[in-house]
Amino acid sequence: MADARAINFVFGSTVALLAGCVLGFLYYNGGRKPAIAPPSASTLPADHPALPENHPPIES
């Protein structure tokens, strides 16, 4: 059976690697605008289609 110390080291290394991936992702994407703007965005182009007349009400 594997030594408990070795198992803890492997587990800790895996968690540290995952945390590094998350931090790298956040650093890389910091300050970027989302690719898809929310529907209430005021920066939508003028030719953006409106909701159809028979669309059910959107609850916020």
Quote the domain boundaries for residue 6.
Answer: 1-30
Would 5 be classed as within a structural domain? yes
Would 55 be classed as within a structural domain? no
In order along its 60 residues, the chain shows pLDDT tens digits of 679 999 999 999 999 999 999 999 999 988 887 777 666 666 667 777 777 778 787 775
Helix and strand totals (H; E) in the chain: 1, 0
pLDDT of the residue at 18: 98
pLDDT of the residue at 5: 94
Count of domains for the chain: 1
Would 13 be classed as within a structural domain? yes
Would 23 be classed as within a structural domain? yes
pLDDT of the residue at 40: 65
Would 9 be classed as within a structural domain? yes
pLDDT of the residue at 39: 65
Would 60 be classed as within a structural domain? no
Would 43 be classed as within a structural domain? no
Whole-angstrom CA distances from 17 to 10, 24, 56 are 10, 10, 46
Would 49 be classed as within a structural domain? no
Query: What kind and span of H or E run contains 5?
Result: helix 4-29
